[in-house]
Amino acid sequence: MTMQTIQANNYPIYFNEKAYEALNLHISQNKYSNIFIIVDSNTNEFCLPKLLPLIETDLNVEIIEFEAGEENKNIETCVEIWKVLTELGGDRKSLVLNLGGGVVTDLGGFVASTFKRGVDFIHIPTTLLSMVDASVGGKNGVDLGNLKNQIGVINVPNMVLIDTQFLETVPQNEMRSGLAEMLKHGLIYDKKYWEEFLDISTIDFDALDQLIYRSVEIKNEIVKQDPTEKNIRKALNFGHTLGHAIEGYFLENENKTTLLHGEAIAVGMILESFISLHKGLITKEEYIQIKTVLKSIYEDITFEEEDIEPILDLLIHDKKNEYGSIQFALIEGIGKIKINQEVENELILEAFEDYKS
């Protein structure tokens, strides 16, 4: 189905068949010296063979691959890629295509934004999460140890190309991970959209295209109003204040299986909905609905007594904290947000207790 182009701050987001037309036109209209495609080990295998035949150019195209995984979204990988770019003749007029999930678009966007003080780059997201979230909004960066996205820049790509056919090879658990961000978009911005997910079993692939489109629209509308996250953009942090801390803790802890981003965010959304309930912002019914839907999609995560302290410690390092206090983006009814909410530790502990029940 045809989906209209979405205009973001200074860059367009093209969908499906329109994407390659736009890409080829862009390449032909700019005097690039060469093209670098950054991939991870999986997108090299599953996505690059789909993309390469569709690029029309006489320019030299080089592929730069790094090992897939969040643990490689760090400055060491960037250093490797900056070196390879240099060795392969990268210059101010190089074009970088980031073909992959959020790890590739975040890291590749950062690499391109800093190489030679910034070269052109285009995001081609290949996971659900990167389509509806990571590739939209101009945030790029890498992790610093277990501190997520600690280093980075806000800098927009020339364009984003969303081809939902890439999703064919994405594993189920990764699809679920991306779904968490779509559910978040409903919870913070659009009640009707949230309600489309109440019966998840009825969603087929065609409907998914439309849901992705709406999700990109929501993310874009929010970012456009506040690109540098002074106010409304903080809404996108719903579920993420606790979710990031949980994700970071599970990542560094050898006794824990690493959580996918969306899996951690799903827990974070349940916890932060509980907090919203206890701040009188949502009703018991709304809370039960949110918890029920999320628990029906995502497996329960086990928290031991001794896990909670270190998670709270990580929370303090969360980059969203201003002036030392922990600020939450909570929901005020489904589809509306209330940002800059201070939450006492006691209530966070209660939220974890309730999650376990």
Ligand X SMILES: NC(=O)c1ccc[n+]([C@@H]2O[C@H](COP(=O)([O-])OP(=O)(O)OC[C@H]3O[C@@H](n4cnc5c(N)ncnc54)[C@H](O)[C@@H]3O)[C@@H](O)[C@H]2O)c1
List residues near ligand X by CB under 6 A.
Answer: 40, 42-43, 46-47, 68, 70, 73, 100-104, 106, 126-127, 129-130, 133-134, 137, 139, 148-149, 166, 169-170, 174, 177, 261
Contacts of residue 227, defined as CB under 8 A and 6 or more positions apart, other chains included, come to 9, 137, 138, 154, 233
Residue number, 47 or 183, with CB nearest to ligand X: 47
Residue 279 vs 317, nearer CB to ligand X: 317
Nearer to ligand X, 110 or 328 (CB): 110
Distances (CA, A) of 83 to 24, 44, 64, 77, 87: 27, 20, 11, 10, 6
Alpha carbons 155 and 9: distance in angstroms, whole number? 10
Closest CA to 246 of 314, 183, 179, 176: 314
Residue where the block lists tokens 């182009």: 5
Q: Which residue is nearest to ligand X (CB)?
A: 102
Report the residue number, 131 or 282, with the smaller CB distance to ligand X: 131
Minimum gap (Å) between residue 103 Cβ and ligand X:
3
Distance of alpha carbon 65 from alpha carbon 195, whole angstroms = 40
| CA dist., res. 231 & res. 178, Å (int) | 24
Nearer to ligand X, 174 or 217 (CB): 174
Q: Which is nearer to ligand X, 18 or 73 (CB)?
A: 73
CB of 138: closest distance to ligand X in angstroms?
8
CB of 172 to ligand X, least distance (A): 11
Closest distance of CB 323 from ligand X, Å: 24
We find the least distance from the C-beta atom of residue 133 to ligand X, in angstroms, to be 4
Q: How deeply is 209 buried, as exposed, middle or buried, from its count of CB atoms within 10 A (0-12, 13-18, 19+)?
A: middle
CB of 261 to ligand X, least distance (A): 5
Residue 15, strand partner residues: 162
Instruction: Name the residue with tokens 């989906």.
Output: 3
* CB 277 to ligand X: min, Å: 25
Mode of pairing for the β-strands spanning 94-100 and 147-154: unpaired
Residue 43 or 94 having the CB closest to ligand X: 43
C-beta closer to ligand X: residue 90 or 239: 239
Tokens 């790029």 sit on residue: 140
Give the end-to-end CA distance of the chain in Å, rounded to a whole number: 43
Measured CA to CA, the distance from residue 66 to residue 77 in angstroms comes to 7
Buried b vs exposed e over 104-126: b needs ≥16 C-beta within 10 Å? bbbbbbbbbbbbeeebbbbbbbb
Q: At its nearest, how many Å lie between ligand X and the CB of residue 39? A: 9
Shorter beta-carbon distance to ligand X: residue 174 or 190? 174
- Rounded least distance, CB 27 to ligand X, Å: 22
Token digits for 336?
């509306």
